[in-house]
Structure 1
Amino acid sequence: MRRFVSLYVFVLTLPLFLAGSVWQARRYTALQRDVRRLEVVQEEWIESNKRLIAGIGLLSSAERIEHIAIEELGLMKKQPEDVLQVRIEAGRGRTDG
């Protein structure tokens, strides 16, 4: 009798183990698909960041800024002798009184 109970329990639990194994395999496959999709998205972000960094480098170049200042804004580069420097020494600021 005890032998039949063990066999009965084994026969009932075997399909549960198989179903659990199938469920786990499907879940693993779905997670693998998600990881691949996220890796593609990550690569797109990396490429986008590279393009943006290159654009920042191009837009912030000194030659470009100087060209815009002179050609579009009508600014002129000052010579060092044309620049007036004002120095305020510590302790010689405003006095109240």
Structure 2
Amino acid sequence: MQLLATAYNVIQFGAKPDGKADAAQPFLKAWSAASPSKKKITVQINGTLVAPTDYRALGNSGCWILFIKVNRVSVFGGNLDAEGAAFWACVLLELA
């Protein structure tokens, strides 16, 4: 018997697909809902994940996207927009 997959949509956890709102908390809520399962987890990105334009928003972590100590996780689809031009403009402004 094949087990059916359960889907968790970050929009149902409060994410706003506008390219501006921070979806970290909705993603973490969806992750928490999925993670008690011992099944593999697939993250399907439909659209573009956009990094903050101000790199200081990353805080002390220095990471925009980070998965640590996870097993059986796959990430598919979408685009990652790291806002490279905005990042370097911000860094150069601080160095000036």
Shorter chain as denominator, the TM-score bin is under 0.3
- Give the structure with the larger helix fraction: 1
- Give the structure with the larger strand fraction: 2
Larger Rg: 1
Whose RCO is larger (CA < 8 A, sep 6+)? 2
